[in-house]
Amino acid sequence: MADENSIAALPAPAAHPLANPGYGKRTAPAEPGAAFQPVDFSHLPAREAYIAAYVHRLPEGAAMDVKSLAKALPLYGQQAVRSALNFLSRAGHLHRVRGLAATGDGGTRWVFRTFWSGTARDSAWWAGFLGGDVAVEAAAPVEATSEVAPPSEPAPTTPEMHRATAYQTLARLGRVEPRLALSDADCHALTDLAVPWLERGASPVSLTKALTAGLPDAVHAPRGFVARRLRDKLPPMPMSQLTPDAPEPRLLGRLMPECTECGVPGRPAAFVGGLCQGCRTAASSHSPQGAVHQVTAPAATLAREAVRAVRDHRNPANYRRDTALQQ
């Protein structure tokens, strides 16, 4: 069972980056009434339950690449996140797909999506869903309800709320770091510089860390020092704010699921537990069922590694472009 304290300490997903149009998280359709039932990941190992609870709360279109998730999750690095996502795929919560889409200029490109289900689904369900029994483009989002309530945030957030939060964060600086103690007048004067941080997704905790990290031995003018840091360290605007009206690419056919292990696409019915036939055969070689499997295992492993290398490096120019767009 997952550690309840670690799940309760999940970071808020509000600042998680969105993927470019056509990529990112898609929520698989739920059974009738599922939106009103608590989602329980206690059947998963602690690491997988922690990451599953975070992914479940992410909005549609959120970036699902390993780098973005590892950056948002303080407890695990990229390799751990990659392993957890693969586990969640085999457990029936997640399926990666790709599809060919029109670019709008007469060309085409691959788009990659990650379908998520808070309820574990078996291979037959995923095959029916990805095979067209349920329209992929019309998949309705599942309301992210869970027994673990996300940290309380005002919704919607108003400019007045941002100003109040900014003032409170500045006023508490002196308690966290005595060298940055500010007066009431200082806090009011600096609020306008702190508000853009909150508008760009920074939390009070991350704002405080940015202002207090790496201080000199003595700060003779706290107000001027904080003002300088607020200006110089302002984070960039989220991608969603830079391109809010970017159109969703038009698919030129059905989406194809990818193997969880090697990433090779194929027909939905060809995957069992998220694995293609070749990877299932390779996995079965670990069981003592004869010498044939022992002979074919190295070849299957080399094949998977070769495919993974091509997928990761994507040497041709069009693959480099697709990878940049996905992130």
| Lowest pLDDT segment from 131-145, 210-224, 230-244, 269-283 | 131-145
pLDDT at 4 over 90: no
Distance of CA 51 to CAs 91, 197, 263, Å? 13, 26, 21
Residue 153 pLDDT level (bands cut at 50, 70, 90): very low
Is the pLDDT score of 290 beyond 60?
A: no
Q: What is the mean pLDDT of residues 137-149?
A: 36
Residue 84: its H or E element: helix 78-90
Band (pLDDT 50/70/90 cuts) for residue 201 is confident
More confident residue, 246 or 192: 192
| pLDDT at 279 (0 to 100) | 85
pLDDT 10s digits, 54-66: 999 888 889 999 9
Tell me the pLDDT band of 151, cut-offs 50, 70 and 90.
very low
pLDDT of 181 reads 94
The sign of the dihedral angle between the CA atoms of 132, 133, 138, 143 is negative
- How much is the pLDDT for 91? 92
3-state SS assignment for residue 101: strand
pLDDT for res 314: 43
CA distance readout (Å), 148 to 17, 42, 43, 55, 57? 22, 11, 15, 13, 10
Give the three-state DSSP class for 88.
helix
Average pLDDT estimate for 45-62 = 91
pLDDT of residue 179 exceeding 50, the answer is yes
* Residue keyed to tokens 């751990």: 80
pLDDT score at 168: 93
Closest CA to 280 of 302, 256, 261, 307: 261
State what percent of residues in the chain have pLDDT above 90: 28
Report the pLDDT averaged over residues 2-20: 66
Q: What is the mean pLDDT of the chain?
A: 75
Give the sign of the dihedral formed by CA 142, CA 52, CA 40, CA 15: negative
Instruction: Give the number of C-alpha atoms closer than 13 A to the C-alpha of residue 138, restricted to the C-beta side.
Output: 4
In whole angstroms, give the CA distance from residue 292 to residue 300.
Answer: 12
* pLDDT tens track for 71-122: 888 889 999 999 999 999 999 999 888 888 887 667 778 888 899 999 898 8
Do the bridges between strand 108-116 and strand 24-27 make them parallel or antiparallel, or are there none, so unpaired? parallel
Q: What span, in angstroms and rounded, lies between the C-alpha atoms of 119 and 104?
A: 36
**Cis (ω within 30 of 0) for the bond into 156?**
yes
- On whether the CB atoms of residues 253 and 99 are closer than 8 A, the answer is yes
Work out the average pLDDT over 289-294.
39
* DSSP per-residue codes, 208-247: HHHHHTT--S--S-HHHHHHHHHHHTPPPPPHHHHSTTPP
- At position 281, the amino acid (one-letter code) is T
Alpha carbons 262 and 326: distance in angstroms, whole number: 18
Q: Determine the Cα angle at 63 with ends 47 and 160, to 5°.
A: 100
**In this structure, what is the dihedral angle of CA atoms 230, 231, 232, 233, given to the nearest 10 degrees?**
40
Is-above-0.85 flag for pTM?
Answer: no
Distances (CA, A) of 79 to 1, 53, 71, 75, 96: 22, 18, 12, 12, 17
